[in-house]
């Protein structure tokens, strides 16, 4: 007797039309909330990084993750890749830190800056950099990159470019407000380079820890470069 073939199950990774609609709605609302916050309010930096980004970046991730019920691995949060990802991020972050130290030292005329790591201000800012790295990585790579990678049928270039574009879109308003349009062009180009590199590393590692750690060290590198 010929057995009936069972219908093929749909891929557990695929996203439905309603899930993608919810995804885009969350992104639009997040952007509008961030824009209004930047225009209407001026709070201390720690409020921006700890509280504001919890709601603007963390909350959309939580809402989407709860709605689609995907595995932690889908969002780069699997335990199996946790430490390999962290080591990759540390290696890339070390490069950022090395370049910043050398560049800063050359500008000051000596090979090392002994006071930097003894500064309380440095470690406070570095702590904030880790908080920033967590919320932004969770939103742009754990959420946006993971979803777009599936949406574009695992086309890495499309997903990386789109994620980079959204990263710039969310960061452009604060630059325009602070320094104006023309003065923002170079920082935005630098951010584009950074965001695309982060996207590539996330795709290679499939671990959110890789981009969290490298992002935190990127912030540290900028801090070292600007410290006087």
Compute the distance between CA of residue 148 and CA of residue 162 in angstroms, rounded to an integer. 8
* Per-residue pLDDT tens over the stretch 133-142: 999 999 999 9
Q: What pLDDT, on the 0 to 100 scale, is given for residue 1? A: 46
What's the token pair of residue 200?
């590539």
* Per-residue pLDDT tens over the stretch 176-204: 988 888 999 998 999 999 999 999 999 99
Does the structure show a pLDDT above 90 at 5?
A: no
So where are the chain's domains?
72-226
Q: What pLDDT, on the 0 to 100 scale, is given for residue 171? A: 94
Tokens 């996330």, residue located: 202
For 102-150, the DSSP string reads HHHHHHHTSS--TTSTT-HHHHHHHHHHHHHHHHHHIIIIIIIIHHHHH
Record the pTM. 0.88
**Arithmetic mean of pLDDT over the chain:** 88
Cα angle: 38, vertex 227, 92; to 5 degrees: 80
């Amino acid at each position: 007797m010929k057995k009936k073939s069972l219908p093929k199950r749909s891929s557990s990774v695929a996203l439905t039309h309603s899930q993608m609609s919810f995804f885009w709605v969350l992104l639009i609302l997040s952007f509008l909330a961030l824009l209004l916050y930047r225009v209407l309010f001026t709070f201390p930096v720690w409020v921006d990084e700890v509280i504001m980004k919890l709601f603007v970046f963390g909350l959309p991730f939580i809402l989407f993750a709860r709605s689609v019920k995907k595995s932690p691995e889908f969002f780069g949060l699997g335990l199996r890749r946790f430490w390999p990802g962290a080591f990759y991020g540390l290696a890339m972050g070390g490069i950022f830190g090395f370049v910043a130290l050398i560049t800063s030292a050359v500008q000051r005329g000596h090979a090392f800056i002994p006071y930097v790591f003894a500064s309380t201000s440095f470690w406070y800012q570095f702590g904030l950099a880790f908080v920033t790295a967590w919320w932004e990585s969770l939103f742009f790579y754990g959420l946006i990159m993971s979803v777009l990678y599936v949406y574009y049928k695992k086309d890495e270039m499309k997903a990386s470019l789109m994620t980079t574009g959204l990263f710039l879109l969310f960061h452009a308003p604060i630059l325009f407000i602070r320094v104006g349009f023309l003065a923002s062009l170079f920082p935005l180009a630098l951010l584009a380079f950074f965001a695309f590199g982060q996207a590539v590393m996330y795709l290679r590692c499939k671990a959110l820890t890789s981009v969290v750690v490298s992002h935190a060290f990127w912030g540290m590198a900028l801090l070292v470069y600007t410290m006087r």
